[in-house]
Chain A
Amino acid sequence: MRSHARIGFVLLLTPLVLWLGLLIIIPHIDMLLISLRERISFGVYEPSLAQYQKALTEPLYLRTFWRTAVMSVLATAITLVIAFPVAYYIAKMARGRLQQVLFMLCLIPFYVSELVRTFGWMILLRETGLISNLLQWAGLADQPVEMLYNDAAMMVGLVYTSMLFMVVPLVTTLESLDDSVVEAGYDLGGGGISVLREIIIPHAMPGIVSGCIVVFMLSLGNYLTPTMLGGKDSLWFTEMIYNQFIVRSNWELGATFGFMLLVLSSVIVWGMLRLTGRTLQETMG
């Protein structure tokens, strides 16, 4: 009986171990090894820290690295600010069918691929696009307006892509907030802002933290949106990784960049958890 249970346990665990081992741990170890070597000549490599030295001393790489980090944090913050009222409305104010419909509306953009969504934004924002034409038609602009290929367009794309991943955890936590707790906040003399600050936000904290972590990771790792909407000045770290791996065939530097990104995201997630005084278990469980 006991041994049966053991076999069952092992069988249940096997896919997880395989998945972790084959798809996550082994490739990462391989990447780490690649990042720690230097090409000497055709097919000859030597262990070295040259890649890290290059990555950390070349201003362009560093600039892109920090820019990506700061922009991702900004995108996360904007997503939170926009998603919170939306989630609050869905969770607390909308009822029955309306609630479902609103939730579906958040979900529908994700029925199509990210590429199509990004193209959608390009159609709207481009010089000969919908918004430009509307502005001219309304007399607000006397010539075509180019809204694509800048940081703002990229931010719009990032926020749009991340929206759902912020709304879902927020709706889930906000739904568990008893209406009467909010009413009690008002009843005892609280105004809208103090009820939000002292009651609603503390209650929603697990949702806020997990939503922020997911959105931050998605933004940091996004490739399509920055390249397509960001235009000629868009510098995104993933783009540099792609370039090193695919265009330059420089896997060593690419792997180094990949590890820098891994460290950066780990540090920022850790910082976020520290800041809010939560543990990863609380947030993800």
Chain B
Amino acid sequence: MKKTMLATTCLAILGLAQTATADTLRLLTWGGYAPDDVVEMFEEQTGHTVEVTKSNNEEMIAKLRATGGGGFDLAQPSQDRIMGPQMEFGIYKPIDVSKLDESLFIPSMLAATMANTTVNGVVYGVPHVWGTSGLVMNTAEAGDVVKDYTDLCDPALAGKVSYRLKRPTLIGFAFALGEDPFAAYDDEAKYKEIMEKVEAKLTECKSNVKTYWSGGDELMNLMRSGEVVASMAWDTGGWKLNDDNADITFVAPASGALGWIDTFVLPAKGQADDAAYDWINFVMQPKIAAMITASAGNFTASAGAEEHAEEALKAKYQASFPIEAIDNIKWYPPVPAGLEAIEGDVLDRVQAAN
């Protein structure tokens, strides 16, 4: 009995000793943002170990909410999902920018993200990966018809289009219908009105849709097999498909692609902040950032990483985004609380419509 106690104590002390020098970093992130080779390099250099959990915006927030911000040491929700949940549930802790090497970030992006993730004068997030969503289509079959989101409802493509039944679709359609939903973020009545318009359009459009896709792989399969010729999706999806079929690519819609930035945030009950800062500083180095771009397909907020990016990806990016299209990107502002309830009701009604 005594012996085991002693052994346990020794083990505990050893364990404590180890945490002082090297931590376990529990990372809640997206697929592709923490490729194995990067994790290996990081573990080798710093002595920390990394446990990666892949997720998406909604699940990240739900997970953190369920534990009051515990269970993970670093998370990567989109920048528009930080303010609302923080005010509502308090699941993040302030980020100490002085512990980061600011020179690694593209200054404009860092400033914009910090501004968008500030609650009560405290900064909660810094940018990591950014990208857009717009139209992925087979240009040979749908290129003449589809110029904007609403063109997905063109009868010529009946049964051959797909989009998600989620908020980006609502926002995209709102822009394509000539509205500016972002400007109406603070005006609930106006926002409701816009959403009603979108709901009518989506309901009308429903018969044109083959299926509402829910996972990236599902959409890739639909596009690759030719069952779907035009869809609303992320830019990377289109570029990946472009490798298999030169006709398929990402096109920025006329009303503008929707820009998102995935961030780094510290969950409120994270236990390895130092390791988290180490990770951020590590992956923002241009060479490492380029490796993440290669794995995720999206560019990062790392200054100078573009030089290390693959030429092919850069070419695709330039083909999809002429200068005016870049200027036209609609960056998601933080979502005020309450809007999601309006959106949720719209999505429910569209799903239930016949």
Contact = CB atoms under 8 A, between A and B. Distances in A.
Direct A–B touching in the complex (beta carbon < 8 Å)?
A: yes
Contacts of A243: 344, 347-348
Range of interface residues on chain A?
A: 20 to 34
Given A63-B352, A149-B211, A246 B62 contact: yes
Given A243-B344, A248-B340, A42 B87 contact: yes
Contacts, number: 67
Interface in A40-86: 42-43, 60, 63-64
Contact of A64 (B58, B206, B352): B352
A97 interface: no
Nearest to B166: A247
Interface string B145-181: 0000000000000010000011000000000000000
A213 interface: no
A60 B348 contact: yes
B210 interface: yes
B212 interface: yes
B6 interface: no
Interface string B318-354: 0000000000000000000100110010011101101
A232 B340 contact: no
Interface string A234-251: 010000100111111111
A127 B211 contact: no
B31 interface: no
Interface of B: 58-59, 61-62, 65, 85, 87-90, 159, 165-166, 206, 209-212, 214, 218, 225-227, 337, 340-341, 344, 347-349, 351-352, 354
Interface of A: 42-43, 60, 63-64, 126-128, 146, 148-149, 227-228, 231-233, 235, 240, 243-251
Given A42-B88, A148-B211, A246-B59, 18 more contacts: A43-B89, A126-B225, A127-B225, A127-B227, A128-B227, A149-B210, A231-B210, A231-B211, A232-B209, A244-B344, A245-B62, A246-B62, A247-B344, A248-B340, A248-B344, A249-B62, A249-B340, A250-B344
10 contacts: A60-B348, A60-B352, A64-B352, A127-B227, A232-B210, A232-B212, A232-B351, A235-B351, A247-B166, A250-B341
